[in-house]
Chain A
Amino acid sequence: MMKDISIGRYYNGKSVLHRLDPRVKVLLFIVYMVTIFMANTPVAMLATFAVVLVLALLSKIPVMEILRSVRPIVFIMIFIFVLNLFSIRQGDVLWSWKFLVITSGGLMRAVLLAFRLLLLILATSLLLSLTTTPLKLSDALESLGSPLKVIKVPVNEMAMTMSIALRFIPTLVEETDKIMKAQSSRGAEYDTGNIFHRAQGYVTVLVPLFVSAFKRAEELAIAMDSRCYRGGVGKTKLHPLKMKTKDYLWMLALVILAVVPLAVDFLWKIK
């Protein structure tokens, strides 16, 4: 029933983007966000699109896979487009019918905003979700967040919590499936019957699931104790994050790439 759930849609690969230090990717992600938000002319937008295309090429992920991450936001894109199209009235009137008016300024804006959202999603997917495993991401956040330890934020423990959560997602999904089967043998309904029946159906799954999750947590805590877990202090790492020259060079290259659209835009304007 729930076999196909995947978390964070990682696409296995060995491209430059896959191998890049996850901390660099998180930082680059911020840089690209800034670029995308600063690009507010058609020229800058097109240049940014070209840059995102470069990222896509670097990732070596099939186009269809990349587009799939866009699918969930298509509706929001259309919504933003339509909203801006009719609500902004600037420039020449292109078309009007009763109270609906489309202006050239509104069209421009609508296209820009919808396009910006598309670029945002593409950049996020390419830099993070498609090319970085959740575990690496958690490592990166742990490492980048370590200065927060000064103000007593338990960064290591938060990272540990996150990685245990990731570890148990498949286990709990499997368990949910088992409990659902067991309860439907007793006549519980999940996809038939009226809303009340269905709601009751989910109670029959959630209660046992929580009970077992608590039991698992308790047993896991004992197991971690027995393997001498003492928090993050003094803990070494099997795969520590390590910046290599290559990572620095790629970071530099990709930051420059991120500035290109803004530079192009600037040059276009002064021309």
Chain B
Amino acid sequence: MDQEIKELQKYEQTVQADDLLFSYPTNSGTNVVAVDHVSFAVQKGEYIAILGRNGSGKSTLAKMMNLLEIPDKGKLKVFSMSADEDENYWTIRSHCGMVFQNPDNQIVGTTVEEDVAFGPENLSVPLPELAQRVEKALGYVGLLEKADQQPSSLSGGQKQKLAIAGVLAMQPELLILDESTSMLDPKARDEFLHLVARMRQDKGITVVHITHDMHEAFLADRVLVLEHGQLRMQGTPAEVFSQVDMIRHLGLELPKWAELLWEVAELCGEKVDRSAYASEENAIAEIKRILKEKKEDIARPEKKEVIPVSEQEIMRVNHLSYRYEKKGNYVIEDIDFNVRKGEILAVIGHSGSGKTTLISQLNGILRPQEGSVEIWQENEKTFISTQKNADIKKIRKHVGLLFQYPEHQLFEETVEKDIKFGPKKMGYDDAECDRLMKESLPLVGLSDRVLKRSPFELSGGQKRRVAFAGILAMNPDVLILDEPAAGLDPVGQKEIFGYIEELRNRGKSIILVSHDMDKAAAIADRILVLKKGKQTFFGTPRELFSEKTDFLSMRLDRPLLMKTMKKLKADLPYIDEYEFDTKKAAESLVFGNEPKEVSL
């Protein structure tokens, strides 16, 4: 081999970055600066979180540590070795492991063990050491019994564990996680984070973790925040998150308890000491202090008028069951619920609970084997069922379905054509298609300047909106959205949920499939819980999280906001811990409970 991998010498600092600059040319000929004069250091054994909006240069920075990108200017040392010198190249890279966002796109091997072996094979590790490393790594992440299986048989969480095993087999000093948890469900995410914590403890591995999740950032020793390629903040999570205004300015989210404190302080017009944002305990103490000292004459903000959910049923699902093979196991079994006009129904369940199968039934992509799905037709004042072939087109008109990562369905040359595809297929004439398309644009915050552009040159968030508009242009009464905000940064997520609420206010019914318990509880009128294909709960968020419901058996997590509210309730018995929206929860804290209208 031309480049021998050197023995790693003793080193002090894992990464020393001094004034790094990185830019890349775009199609239009201009240079984009992705990393703009950034300096920082990572100590041996540290856990660093890197935050920032999409496009802030986080990933580029991470790739530099692994020498996948080479800085244009500046000095970079990894493991105290200069990254400029060619002879250090493989030594550095072979001791950096990287786990990427999409589990599918980083698996190379045809079987699980072949994939783990890929790294050490490239490092020319001979047998039998190679086999030992593979076995050890698979054992460590708990995938040993899957060794000879195909990677496609694994779940998303298992695939990410496989990626970790592949890294472990290379015996890394530094582990770089590039949004590795963003495509996982909460359970898989917890398991993944535990695994990383265990690796740090057992092996003293240094971790650099790029994430959008603020609760994950709080696990880190130190946080770096980037904006437009520049390093804006760095420090311990407590130090960084106590600069609340800056965090909000940078478009990042606060942890739920910090958000609650911020809202309470806003309502009472109080200034809050930074230290209060350092931890949940501090925040709770501070909220209590503010409430004790608050003036009496604070005006309650005017209530936003909430359009009540109408009683008109718009979709009925009656005892629906489905299985892919005759005499096989049911994927969904005896599902029975309804959706009313102007209602948001959240569907919650772990991966593999049958959510995708269920929503595919709702617009006739899959047809019922047992039970039925019926859709209300306002014009004709009748229900039509998905059973009849002749009605399928009508059903698709009434029920718009948007799968996860809908930007993957764009295919036309221009945004305009793509949005019009649906309405055209539904048989609207040209003028009508045009009107529908134009009406759909503002609903998702798109301007008509994008219409003539190719959908493929837009940013990820823009593409998502175009796909969204493509469904809205069919003017459906019911919208089914599968994780509509997945993979977006906090600002992007907030915008998407804003559009959803606005659509509801216009009388659309929305079925929202989501992992995010806080979001679902805050936004939904009712929640349907699926567990292994069975419907374990159907009712309001308030009922779901109340003491009466056997919540533990559903293996779900309570909303984080509710956990904080429960802690506050111990001292403030009057508050309503079932307010799932931070703003409303803050109002309940400051003003007490308003007399509830007769509950549904």
Q: Say yes or no: is A65 at the interface (Cβ < 8 Å to chain B).
A: no
Nearest-CB distance from A260 to chain B (Å)?
A: 36
- Which B residues touch A184, using CB under 8 A? 365, 396
- B93 and A228 contacting across the interface, CB-CB below 8 Å: yes
Q: How far is the CB of A165 from chain B (nearest CB, A)?
A: 10
In the complex formed, the residue of B with least CB distance to A168 is B104
A207 in contact with B100 given A174-B152, A236-B124 (CB within 8 Å):
no
B150 touches A170 (CB 8 A): yes
Closest to B131 in A: A238
Q: Does A194 reach chain B (CB closer than 8 Å)?
A: no
A163 to chain B, nearest CB (A): 5
Is A226 located at the chain interface by the 8 A CB criterion? yes
CB of B144 within 8 Å of the partner chain:
no
Interface string of A232-250 (1 = CB under 8 A from B): 0111111110000000000
The answer to whether A171 and B131 have CB atoms under 8 Å apart is no
Q: What residues on B are CB-neighbors of A187 within 8 Å? A: 393, 396, 421-422, 424-426, 474
CB distance from A170 to the nearest CB of B (A): 4
Within 8 A of B (CB), among A30-84: none
A residues 207-232 touching B (CB-CB < 8 Å): 207-208, 211-212, 215-216, 219-220, 222-230
Task: Given A182-B409, A228-B170, decide whether A216 and B104 contact each other with a Cβ distance below 8 A.
Answer: yes
From DSSP, what is the main secondary structure of chain A's interface residues?
A: helix
User: Least Cβ distance of B116 to chain A in Å?
Assistant: 8
Interface pair B106/A185, CB less than 8 Å apart: no
Are A167 and B121 interface neighbours, CB within 8 A? no
A143 at the interface (CB under 8 A from B): no
By the criterion CB–CB under 8 Å, are A235 and B121 in contact? yes
Q: Which of B261-269, B300-308, B399-407 forms part of the interface with chain A?
A: B399-407
Is there an interface contact between B122 and A229, defined as CB atoms closer than 8 Å?
Answer: yes
A181 at the B interface (CB under 8 A): yes
Of the residues B90, B114, B403, contact of A228 by C-beta under 8 Å? B90
B60 to chain A, nearest CB (A): 12
Q: How far is the CA of A220 from the CA of B111 in the complex (A)?
A: 16
Is the Cβ of B360 less than 8 Å from the Cβ of A181?
yes
- Chain A residue contacts of B402, Cβ below 8 A: 182, 185
Which residues from chain B contact A182 at a C-beta distance below 8 Å?
401-403, 406, 408-409
- Judge whether A3 and B324 touch: CB under 8 Å: yes
Distance A227 CA – B95 CA, assembled complex (angstroms): 10
Residues on A with C-beta less than 8 A from B108 are: 164, 167, 220, 223-224, 227, 229
Q: Are B110 and A208 in contact (CB under 8 A)?
A: no
A166 contacts the other chain (Cβ, under 8 Å)? yes
A64 to chain B, nearest CB (A): 19
Q: Which residues of B contact A222 (CB under 8 A)?
A: 63, 68, 100
Across-interface contacts of B106 in A (CB, < 8 A): 219-220, 223
Enumerate chain B residues within 8 angstroms of A183, measured Cβ to Cβ.
Answer: 409, 411
B100 touches A185 (CB 8 A): no
Enumerate chain B residues within 8 angstroms of A234, measured Cβ to Cβ.
1, 124
**Residue on A with the closest CB to B424?**
A187
Say whether A211 contacts B456, CB under 8 Å: yes
Find out whether the CB atom of B363 lies under 8 angstroms from the CB atom of A228: no
Contact yes or no, A233 B96, CB < 8 A:
no
A-side contacts of B410, CB under 8 Å: 208, 211
CB pair A167 B403 closer than 8 Å: no
Task: Please indicate the chain B residues that have their CB under 8 angstroms from the CB of A179 in the complex.
Answer: 408-409
Q: Which residues of B contact A170 (CB under 8 A)?
A: 150, 152
Question: Which among B93, B114, B124, B409 is the interface contact of A208 at CB below 8 angstroms?
Answer: B409
Q: 8 Å CB contacts to B: which residues of A99-145?
A: 134-135
Distance to closest chain B CB from A137 (angstroms) = 11
A188 contacts chain B at the CB level, 8 A cutoff: yes
A171 to B153, CA, bound (A): 10
Give A259 to B403 CA distance when docked, in angstroms.
Answer: 60
Residues 170-181 of chain A: 1 if any B CB is under 8 Å from the residue's CB, otherwise 0? 110011001101
Given the complex, which residues of A lie within 8 Å of B152, measured CB to CB?
170-171, 174
Q: Is B582 an interface residue (CB 8 A)?
A: no
Bound-complex Cα distance A108 to B446 (A): 75
Q: What is the bound-complex CA distance between A216 and B104, given in angstroms?
A: 8
Contact of B66 with A by CB under 8 A: yes
B98 touches A226 (CB 8 A): yes
Q: Is B201 in contact with chain A by the CB < 8 A criterion?
A: no
A-B contact pairs, 5 of them (CB 8 A): A163-B109, A167-B109, A211-B456, A224-B118, A236-B120
Sorted from nearest, which 6 A-B pairs have the closest CB atoms?
A: A187-B425, A170-B152, A223-B106, A207-B411, A238-B117, A219-B105
A interface residues with partner B (beta carbon < 8 Å): 3, 134-135, 163-164, 166-167, 170-171, 174-175, 178-179, 181-189, 203-204, 207-208, 211-212, 215-216, 219-220, 222-230, 233-240
Other A-B contacts than A175-B408, A222-B68, A222-B100, 17 sampled, CB-CB below 8 A, are A135-B110, A164-B108, A184-B396, A186-B409, A187-B421, A188-B421, A211-B456, A220-B106, A226-B96, A227-B167, A228-B170, A230-B3, A236-B124, A236-B125, A238-B117, A238-B121, A238-B134
